[in-house]
Amino acid sequence: MKNYLELTKPRVTWLILMSTAIGFWFGVRETGNWWALLHALAGTWFIASGTFTLNQWYEREADARMRRTKDRPLPSGRVTPRQALLFGLVLSGIGFAELFWGANALTGWLGLFTEITYLCAYTPLKQKSWHATTVGAVPGAMPPLLGYAAAAGTLTWEAVALYAILFLWQFPHFYSIAWLYREDYARANIKMLPVIETDGTSTARQILLASAILIPVSLAPTYLSMAGNLYAAGAILLGTGFLYTGWKVAKERTLVRARGVLLASVIYLPVLYGLMVLDRPGV
């Protein structure tokens, strides 16, 4: 069971569930069905776990060539490709059913869209173009929409604001990872930007640009009356700190600076979400 659990990437799914819960928090009203939250979280966990499993099934040969992934269950032989494929399909099916019938049809279709775009667009594109990162950010930012749809049964500008924040956040996060493991990605023929443009100039520019745009976008919840001035002040401070790490990596394209961006990204999102929850008007 430990091997199968490893296929689901639990260290990543907790961030997904956190984003789903934030979406639900802003979509739910006083008459909201809180059972839908349980179904939304369970369904999101199942469909995300199934997606990660199927992704590893698809990329098992590439994973075998990278140092950081060669000991995963599939490359190491602890789980067979057939077992992983069936496991991923079952998890995905349960996840879709949970979202569709446990929450509502809109949430189910959004979950299915997320999995299809991740597996059929982002995953194969990784070995063809560095633009895969941008394509992957589309399904990567879907969790708040799943939570919001599960609570409200529809999507509004509030949901779009949450989506936009998570969409932009992914670029500094994943480009810093790509820089840290660029040699591994090159070994597996995965066309990450630092693999194609080895001096890191373009990668640093993308990190800096995304983190700069993230500051005004992160203020959208205040403009939409989702959060108050405390959140706005915190978002500006967090965004400025995040931008500073991007500026540092642009000045010094080193592993230390890239790791700083990654650490800042991991801190930024939970703290920003926490401020949203604390400073929601009427709570």
* Residue bearing tokens 């430990």: 2
Phi, psi of 101 (to 5 degrees): -95, -30
Q: Are 89 and 50 in contact (CB under 8 A)?
A: yes
Rounded to an integer, the average pLDDT of 124-139 is 93
Residue 31 has pLDDT above 70, yes or no: no
Four-CA torsion 216, 219, 220, 226, nearest 10 degrees: 180
Residue 74, classed as helix, strand or coil, is coil
pLDDT recorded at residue 283: 59
CA distance 146 to 200: 35
pLDDT (tens digit, 9 = 90+) per residue, 50-76?
999 999 999 999 999 998 889 999 999
pLDDT recorded at residue 200: 83
Residue 247, classed as helix, strand or coil, is helix
* Residue bearing tokens 């590893």: 56
CATH code for residues 1-155: 1.10.357.140
CA distance 74 to 58: 10
Integer Rg of the chain from CA:
19
CA distance 193 to 129: 8
CB neighbour list of residue 264: distance below 8 Å, 6 or more residues apart:
172, 241, 242, 245
pLDDT band at 112, cuts 50/70/90?
A: very high
CA distance 136 to 59: 15
pLDDT band at 32, cuts 50/70/90?
A: low
Q: How many CB atoms lie within 10 A of CB 124?
A: 12
pLDDT (tens digit, 9 = 90+) per residue, 220-248?
999 999 999 999 999 999 999 999 999 99
Q: Are 37 and 28 in contact (CB under 8 A)?
A: yes
pLDDT (tens digit, 9 = 90+) per residue, 243-277?
999 999 999 888 899 999 999 999 999 999 999 99
Window from 91-105, 143-157, 165-179, 195-209 with minimum mean pLDDT: 195-209
CB neighbour list of residue 242: distance below 8 Å, 6 or more residues apart:
172, 211, 214, 264, 265, 268
Q: What DSSP character marks residue 129?
A: -
Residue 114, classed as helix, strand or coil, is helix
pLDDT (tens digit, 9 = 90+) per residue, 162-192?
999 999 999 999 999 999 999 989 988 899 9
CA distance 112 to 114: 5
For 146-170, give one letter per residue: b (16+ CB within 10 A) or e: bbbbbbbbebeebbbbbbbbbbbbb
